[in-house]
Amino acid sequence: MTHESVWYSRPRKYGKGSRECRVCTHRAGLIRKYGMNICRQCFREKSTDIGFTKVRFNPSLDSATHSPPTSEYHTITIHNMKISIANRHNLHTQHCQSHHAA
């Protein structure tokens, strides 16, 4: 067996070796959540284009100093794939309201 016939011969249908970044084909540091499959470096570059915004979430702060939670939903489009992601703060308020209503 020559080196060429053995080199990279293992089938890559599952596991870390089968996945790569859809932008730069890098294999390390993949963000797989919501089926994005983007490496962390590309995510930092493209996050605003995709529709991600940083949400500061601190339930211990009172609402007088901060604006009220929004019911806004973010829509992310990645190569013809649309995913709706609820604002984390909105989910927390819905969770709290359901417990207080009971």
- Element (H or E) spanning 89, and its range? helix 88-101
For position 93, what pLDDT does the model report?
57
Q: What torsion, rounded to 10 degrees, do the Cα atoms 34, 88, 92, 69 define?
A: -150
Name the CATH topology of 15-54+70-101.
30s Ribosomal Protein S14; Chain N (4.10.830)
Cα separation, 90 vs 102, whole angstroms: 19
Q: Indicate if the pLDDT at residue 86 is higher than 50.
A: no
User: Per-residue pLDDT tens for 18-69?
Assistant: 999 999 999 999 999 999 999 999 999 999 998 888 888 776 665 555 555 5
**Residue 88 pLDDT level (bands cut at 50, 70, 90):** very low
Domain-by-domain residue ranges, the chain? 15-54+70-101
Q: Indicate if the pLDDT at residue 1 is higher than 70.
A: no
Residues 90 and 74: beta-carbon distance below 8 Å: no
